[in-house]
């Protein structure tokens, strides 16, 4: 990138280089303390780079007591803001090669998600070429039939990337509170699960998986018929950069979150929401696809090759009709093979 090129991540002016750790550890800690709101700061040590960020605006860091109706609630808000105000890291695979390795590891375990893996790989590498030194990609919506292994896939993604996963099962929700939180002026208000997780973590760019968002039934006051409409601001970088959190009433920089939305029916999501996402429709798996995946998983897990034919027969007979059922059968076989043989 040329010296005069516009940097979309605003970090080149906040770059510090040091000698090897730990000789420069004091200077390193001082640089961390100088990290500012909305300004990623790259700190380079010999053989190791890290990027830091402040998620909470300076005015909210300085006044952590929000007006509350009870002393206990005031204490809860303060504790949440203390965690959110800590300097966070922007982490994960940070080179094109590292992203390729992550994608390869994912494909080995979830080959049916190849279109989604490729979309994330291409977009993450684009962000790196634009100046990012952390893992980030455009929000992605993955539509598939039930039982395709979406939940397992997002957990594998977290493992392959080394980033934390905040997993929310939207099918069990009747309001958006777990995602957006609830205004602190309400007596029964509570923070979002996302804010709680990020307050406890040192990472500013986790994965947030909204599983079955299409099944969320929002019964809150003035609820939109398509709840996804209320989440558009979190997907748009310009608004997510200055997100007003309902619970703490603090201004937060949430643009580094990696959003993964898992659905069975795209038609239940709003158009403005979908316009801000990569949309991937996974093809329906055939019995041949499932049998092929079964053979690959048996080899990958180190199970007995003799299991291939019985599992293939179960697929052909209709007893195993989805990857969810296949993985349960494989997990059971793996557990059985790990048991000691008693004489």
Per-residue model confidence as pLDDT tens digits over 187-221: 677 899 999 999 999 999 999 999 999 999 765 55
For the ranges 26-30, 82-86, 125-129, the one whose mean pLDDT is highest? 125-129
- Gap between the Cα atoms of 231 and 260, Å rounded: 13
The closest alpha carbon to 132, from 102, 91, 86, belongs to 91
Sequence-distant (6+) residues with CB within 8 A of 77 are: 64, 65, 66, 68, 184, 247, 248
* Predicted local confidence at residue 19, as pLDDT: 43
User: Peptide bond preceding 101: is omega within 30 degrees of 0, i.e. cis?
Assistant: no
* Predicted local confidence at residue 341, as pLDDT: 55
* Predicted local confidence at residue 5, as pLDDT: 40
Same domain, 243 and 150: yes
Q: Are 179 and 229 in contact (CB under 8 A)?
A: no
Q: Which residue has the higher pLDDT, 175 or 155?
A: 155
- Gap between the Cα atoms of 94 and 178, Å rounded: 30
Whether 204 is covered by a domain: the verdict is yes
Q: Which residue has the higher pLDDT, 26 or 120?
A: 120
CATH code where residue 100 lies: 3.40.50.300
Same domain, 238 and 273: yes
Q: Of 19, 38, 53, which residue constitutes the final position of a domain? A: 53
Find the distance separating the first CA and the last CA of the chain, reported in whole Å: 67
Same domain, 208 and 251: yes
Same domain, 144 and 267: yes
Whether 59 is covered by a domain: the verdict is no
The yes-or-no verdict on residue 28 having pLDDT over 70 is no
* Predicted local confidence at residue 309, as pLDDT: 80
Confidence of residue 75 (pLDDT cuts 50, 70, 90): confident
The yes-or-no verdict on residue 3 having pLDDT over 50 is no
Q: Are 57 and 66 in contact (CB under 8 A)?
A: no
* Predicted local confidence at residue 335, as pLDDT: 82
Same domain, 102 and 194: yes
Same domain, 24 and 164: no
- Gap between the Cα atoms of 153 and 146, Å rounded: 13
Domains: count for the chain: 3
What residues make up the domain containing 198? Answer: 96-281
Q: CA 277: distance to chain centroid?
A: 14
Whether 89 is covered by a domain: the verdict is no
The yes-or-no verdict on residue 71 having pLDDT over 50 is no
Range with the lowest mean pLDDT among 6-20, 127-141, 167-181, 270-284?
6-20
Confidence of residue 72 (pLDDT cuts 50, 70, 90): low
Q: Which residue has the higher pLDDT, 185 or 244?
A: 244
The closest alpha carbon to 67, from 249, 221, 229, belongs to 249
The yes-or-no verdict on residue 66 having pLDDT over 50 is no
Task: Report the percentage of the chain scoring pLDDT > 90.
Answer: 43
- Gap between the Cα atoms of 42 and 10, Å rounded: 10
Whether 80 is covered by a domain: the verdict is no
Same domain, 261 and 327: no
* Predicted local confidence at residue 8, as pLDDT: 38
Whether 76 is covered by a domain: the verdict is no
The closest alpha carbon to 72, from 154, 202, 190, 215, belongs to 190
Confidence of residue 299 (pLDDT cuts 50, 70, 90): confident
* Predicted local confidence at residue 7, as pLDDT: 40
Confidence of residue 184 (pLDDT cuts 50, 70, 90): low
Same domain, 229 and 294: no
Same domain, 238 and 263: yes
- Model confidence pLDDT, tens digit, residues 124-158: 999 999 989 999 999 999 999 888 889 989 999 99
Task: Provide the whole-model pTM.
Answer: 0.80
Same domain, 305 and 277: no
- Model confidence pLDDT, tens digit, residues 35-63: 677 777 777 666 567 888 889 987 776 44
The yes-or-no verdict on residue 17 having pLDDT over 50 is no
The closest alpha carbon to 161, from 83, 53, 85, 260, belongs to 260
Whether 82 is covered by a domain: the verdict is no
Same domain, 34 and 114: no
Whether 203 is covered by a domain: the verdict is yes
* Predicted local confidence at residue 320, as pLDDT: 85
Same domain, 315 and 255: no
Whether 47 is covered by a domain: the verdict is yes
């Amino acid at each position: 990138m040329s010296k005069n090129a516009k940097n979309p991540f605003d970090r080149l002016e906040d770059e510090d280089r040091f000698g090897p750790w730990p000789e420069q550890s004091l200077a390193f800690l001082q640089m961390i303390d100088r990290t500012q709101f909305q300004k990623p700061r790259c700190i380079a040590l010999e053989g190791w780079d890290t990027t830091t960020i402040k998620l909470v605006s300076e005015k909210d860091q300085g006044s952590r007591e929000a007006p509350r109706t009870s002393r206990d609630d005031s204490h809860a808000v303060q504790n949440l803001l203390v965690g959110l105000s800590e300097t966070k890291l922007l982490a994960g695979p940070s080179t094109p090669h590292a992203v390729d390795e992550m994608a390869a590891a994912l494909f080995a375990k979830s080959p049916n998600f190849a279109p989604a893996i490729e979309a994330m790989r291409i977009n993450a590498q684009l962000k790196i070429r634009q100046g990012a030194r952390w893992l980030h990609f455009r929000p992605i919506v993955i539509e598939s039939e039930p039982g395709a292994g979406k939940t397992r896939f997002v957990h594998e993604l977290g493992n392959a990337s080394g980033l934390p996963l905040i997993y929310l099962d939207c099918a069990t929700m009747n309001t958006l509170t777990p995602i957006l939180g609830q205004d602190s002026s309400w007596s029964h208000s509570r923070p979002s699960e996302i804010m709680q997780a990020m307050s406890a973590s040192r990472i500013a760019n986790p994965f947030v998986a909204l599983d079955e968002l299409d099944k969320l039934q929002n019964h809150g006051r003035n609820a939109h018929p398509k709840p996804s409409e209320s989440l558009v601001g979190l997907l748009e970088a310009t608004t997510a950069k200055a997100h007003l959190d309902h619970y703490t009433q603090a201004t937060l920089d949430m643009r580094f979150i990696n959003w993964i939305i898992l659905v069975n029916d795209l038609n239940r999501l709003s158009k403005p929401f979908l316009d801000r996402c990569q949309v991937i429709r996974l093809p329906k798996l055939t019995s041949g696809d499932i049998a092929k995946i079964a053979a690959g998983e048996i080899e990958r897990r180190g199970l007995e090759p003799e299991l291939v034919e019985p599992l293939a027969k179960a697929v052909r007979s209709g007893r195993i009709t989805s990857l969810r059922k296949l993985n349960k059968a494989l997990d059971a076989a793996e557990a059985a093979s790990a048991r000691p043989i008693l004489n």
